[in-house]
Amino acid sequence: MGFTLNSVVPWGRSFEEYVAMFDMTDEDLALRILGCGDGPSSFNSGMNKRGYTAISIDPIYQFGVEQIGKRIEETYGDIMEQLNNNREDYIWDTIKSVEELGKVRMSAMREFLADYEKGKQQWRYLADSLPSLQFADGQFDLALCSHFLFLYTKQLSFEFHHMAIAEMCRVAKEVRIFPLLDMEGLPSPYVAKILKELQRSGYTVEVQKVPYEFQRGGNQMIKIRASNIENTDMENRDVLLSC
Ligand SMILES: C[S@@+](CC[C@H](N)C(=O)[O-])C[C@H]1O[C@@H](n2cnc3c(N)ncnc32)[C@H](O)[C@@H]1O
């Protein structure tokens, strides 16, 4: 069965949240960046406004602006109710209340919707899905994944995660994934296993604390780099990835 919009609960974070979640410096922002599963976040729009370049992929980009906008309206109330019921799972210091959170998220999603059609024409929003991407080896300097991998530990297998991360490593020199928690706020059991597999395949892997914590305990990302990437030709990289 194909991907349907009804299976998605669109919820998008802001450019500023991405910068904090991935601890990005000005030098990082100037890199060729791929956002995997960016959905209705305003990351891509924020990058573009500031003169930087990012390509975002997500299966929802096969749909038009009206369809995505309608789905956001349809699901907003349910998400707010769930957040209200689970308030204690989050830290309310930067964002002070569920109401304020709703405003922040809606503002990010409105910015996304306003940018979406122009961004599609400029090939900044591409319909594509992990674990198999349309890009060439090493096409990006940095690939990011916010609130998709590890978050859906219950729904997506270890094999899916392993293949998806190997694919991100194929298309980018460095990969960052945030958070390392599942939907229940528990550390994903996949993280340790993935780190071990990647290290065995010759990657340098680092768990790094970041200046962002909203889901309680969700303040770490993983950073993955091919060891001595400059000296690694593509033939050797394929061997590294075939773990
Ligand atoms: C919780 S949202 C996160 C959106 C955004 N990254 C953020 O942090 O605000 C998860 C996103 O993953 C996308 N997604 C679902 N399956 C995917 C796949 N196979 N590959 C890439 N993205 C996928 C969904 O469409 C959705 O937009």
User: Residue 117: what are its φ and ψ, rounded to 5°?
Assistant: -65, -45
Contacts of 113 (CB under 8 A, 6+ apart): 40, 65, 68, 69, 72
**How many folded domains does the chain comprise?**
1
Going from the C-alpha of 234 to that of each of 45, 163, 170, the distances in angstroms are 32, 18, 9
Pocket lining: 161 vs ligand 1, CB cutoff 6 Å: no
pLDDT in tens, 89-117: 999 999 999 999 999 999 999 999 999 99
State if pTM tops 0.85.
Answer: yes
Distance CA 122, CA 89 (A): 39
Kindly tell me the sign of the dihedral angle through the C-alpha atoms of 50, 55, 60, 61: positive
Pocket lining: 105 vs ligand 1, CB cutoff 6 Å: no
Going from the C-alpha of 150 to that of each of 98, 178, 186, the distances in angstroms are 24, 8, 10
Closest CA to 191 of 155, 147, 161, 227: 161
Distance CA 12, CA 146 (A): 10
What is the pLDDT at residue 228?
58
Distance between Cα 58 and ligand 1 center (Å): 6
* Ligand 1 atom at minimum distance from 59 CA: 25
Q: Look over the chain and give the mean of its residue pLDDT values, rounded to a whole number.
A: 92
CATH number at residue 11: 3.40.50.150
Distance CA 162, CA 159 (A): 5
What is the pLDDT at residue 127?
98
Segment holding 66, helix H or strand E: helix 65-85
* Residue range 2-26: mean pLDDT, rounded: 91
Pocket lining: 71 vs ligand 1, CB cutoff 6 Å: no
Range of the domain at 231: 5-241
Nearest CA to ligand 1 atom 27: 39
Closest CA to 12 of 81, 99, 109: 109
- Residue 3's pLDDT band, with cuts at 50, 70 and 90, is confident
Kindly tell me the sign of the dihedral angle through the C-alpha atoms of 60, 61, 66, 68: positive
220-226/203-209 β-pairing? antiparallel
Tell me which amino acid residue 138 is. G
Distance between Cα 230 and ligand 1 center (Å): 31
What is the pLDDT at residue 180?
98
Residue 243 pLDDT > 70: no
| Residue 99 near residue 218 (C-beta atoms within 8 A) | no
220-226/172-178 β-pairing? antiparallel
